[in-house]
């Protein structure tokens, strides 16, 4: 049974990572599940203890975790290490003597405490000696309220401000000018759902094949042996070679013969298709078609000299650009696990380089953003009509290839 959590980075002024806010999820759908806050806090703590663990989710950074009033009274924060978490008191908590005593107890045990979505009220000033961070919600807080909060916390230099729900650069700059130390919001990064990743033996074999076939001079004996070690892959290779796509008249008797007949370029395509098929089990077929279509489109654009400098890697970049959706995992973590060159990883993860232009085009086709597509083609100086033709042919190619598998 999988345990899921969403995380969103919290950054310092220099936009380096300070912490992650962790939020409970009950599936890979990145929305809050239909349970109450108390249940969400309990399930998140349980999951951190027995499943993913803080190390997997936060990579040695602090974890901001929401605690309800009830969970604070029950002592839930003490189940987690004080040097790894920030106890975030939800805005639904009512300031009371009991809650104040809970905060005092947390400080005695050296926990860091934050007030979430803070709306100023004088009664909260009794808590200020024990509060380390106040989170300001930029979607709710007015300029007058900002100034009121600044005045109230002035006698408490221990309190740092965190600006959350930052959507624009202007809001970020305003928060800096206001004196905020930490920043969080979609302007920097949307929450990502994390799940632990493990590969099956067949998937590992395909990863090894991809690593070898994408070398400048692949060892075809090694490629042959990798196919021979995995019966299911051998079967698919032979079946692929006998498909109507190749119009062959003679039978193929050995794996080595099949590898030689296909040749490097077609073998690279075939292994990439195998990769997509293996990693898309349980996913809608349309997602697989989309991955293959992106691959063929990128390759076709390179073949037609629409963009320069991407000839060898175009197909693979298009194919892997949806790998996070295929296996429900963080794209950077996946790229770190795959034996790929930095240019490929930068195009997919960072969207840098000429290949990234192709991925932007793919996304515009998929979303039907025709005006943006036309404008973008003009911006990067390519023919929009030819581009559309190649994309249409790529969809057809992807469908045929998937059917042949």
Integer angstrom CA distances of residue 244 from 67, 129, 233, 239:
61, 76, 19, 10
For 200-230, how does the pLDDT look when each residue is reduced to its tens digit (9 = 90+)? 777 778 878 877 887 778 888 888 888 888 8
Instruction: Clarify whether residues 311 and 213 are in a common domain.
Output: no
For 102-132, how does the pLDDT look when each residue is reduced to its tens digit (9 = 90+)? 999 999 999 999 998 888 888 899 999 999 9
Instruction: Clarify whether residues 267 and 144 are in a common domain.
Output: no
Rounded Cα–Cα distance for residues 21 and 24 (Å): 10
Please determine, for residue 151, whether its predicted confidence score (pLDDT) is greater than 90: yes
How much is the pLDDT for 346?
86
Nearest to 120 by CA among 173, 161, 81: 161
Instruction: Clarify whether residues 20 and 156 are in a common domain.
Output: yes
How much is the pLDDT for 304?
83
pLDDT band at 34 (very low <50, low <70, confident <90, very high): very low
Please determine, for residue 42, whether its predicted confidence score (pLDDT) is greater than 60: no
Instruction: Clarify whether residues 123 and 252 are in a common domain.
Output: no
Instruction: Clarify whether residues 261 and 137 are in a common domain.
Output: no
Please determine, for residue 2, whether its predicted confidence score (pLDDT) is greater than 80: no
How much is the pLDDT for 247?
61
* Domain ranges, residue 208: 199-279
| The last residue of a domain, from among 246, 279, 312 | 279
Structural domains in the chain (count): 3
Instruction: Clarify whether residues 318 and 404 are in a common domain.
Output: yes
Rounded Cα–Cα distance for residues 95 and 123 (Å): 7
Instruction: Clarify whether residues 256 and 337 are in a common domain.
Output: no
Instruction: Clarify whether residues 34 and 104 are in a common domain.
Output: yes
Kind of pairing between the strands at 85-89 and 182-183: unpaired
| The last residue of a domain, from among 194, 215, 245 | 194
Instruction: Clarify whether residues 167 and 89 are in a common domain.
Output: yes
How much is the pLDDT for 56?
54
Instruction: Clarify whether residues 157 and 225 are in a common domain.
Output: no
Contacts 24+ apart (CB under 8 A), 249-258: 255/224, 255/227, 255/228, 256/224, 258/227
pLDDT band at 405 (very low <50, low <70, confident <90, very high): low
| The last residue of a domain, from among 194, 223, 248 | 194
Cβ atoms 192, 7 nearer than 8 A = yes
Instruction: Clarify whether residues 152 and 203 are in a common domain.
Output: no
Rounded Cα–Cα distance for residues 351 and 354 (Å): 9
- 3-state SS class at 313: coil
Instruction: Clarify whether residues 305 and 319 are in a common domain.
Output: yes
């Amino acid at each position: 049974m999988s345990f899921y959590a969403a995380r969103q980075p919290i950054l310092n002024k220099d936009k380096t990572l300070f912490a992650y806010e962790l939020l409970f999820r009950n599936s890979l759908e990145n929305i809050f599940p239909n349970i109450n806050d108390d249940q969400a806090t309990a399930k998140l703590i349980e999951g951190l203890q027995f499943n993913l663990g803080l190390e997997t989710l936060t990579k040695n950074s602090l974890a901001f975790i929401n605690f309800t009033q009830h969970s604070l009274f029950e002592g839930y924060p003490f189940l987690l290490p004080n040097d790894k978490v920030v106890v975030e008191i939800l805005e639904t908590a009512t300031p009371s003597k009991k809650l104040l005593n809970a905060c005092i107890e947390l400080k005695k045990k050296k926990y860091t405490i934050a007030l979430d979505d803070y709306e100023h009220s004088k009664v909260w000033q009794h808590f200020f000696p024990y509060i380390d961070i106040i989170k300001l919600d930029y979607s709710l807080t007015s300029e007058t309220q900002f100034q009121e909060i600044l005045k109230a916390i002035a006698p408490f230099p221990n309190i740092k401000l965190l600006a959350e729900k930052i959507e624009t650069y202007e809001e970020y700059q305003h928060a800096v000018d206001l004196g905020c130390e930490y920043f969080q919001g979609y302007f920097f990064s949307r929450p990502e759902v994390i799940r632990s990743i493990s590969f099956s033996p067949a998937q590992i074999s395909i990863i090894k094949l991809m690593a070898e076939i994408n070398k400048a001079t692949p060892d075809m004996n090694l490629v042959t042996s990798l196919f021979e070690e995995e019966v299911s892959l051998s079967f698919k290779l032979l079946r692929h070679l006998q498909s109507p796509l190749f119009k062959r008249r003679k039978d193929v008797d050995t794996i080595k013969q099949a590898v030689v007949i296909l040749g490097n370029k077609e073998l690279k395509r075939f292994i990439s298709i195998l990769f997509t098929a293996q990693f898309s089990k349980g996913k809608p077929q349309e997602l697989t078609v989309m991955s293959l279509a992106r691959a063929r489109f990128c390759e076709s654009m390179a073949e037609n000299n629409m963009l320069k400098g991407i000839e060898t890697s175009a197909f693979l970049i298009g194919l892997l650009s949806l790998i996070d959706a295929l296996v429900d995992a963080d794209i950077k973590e996946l790229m770190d696990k795959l034996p790929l060159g930095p240019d490929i990883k930068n195009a997919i993860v960072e969207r840098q380089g000429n290949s990234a232009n192709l991925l932007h085009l793919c996304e515009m086709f998929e979303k039907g953003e025709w005006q943006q597509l036309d404008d973008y083609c003009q911006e990067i100086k390519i023919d929009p009509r030819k581009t559309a033709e190649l994309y249409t042919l790529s969809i057809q190619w992807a469908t045929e290839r998937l059917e042949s598998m």
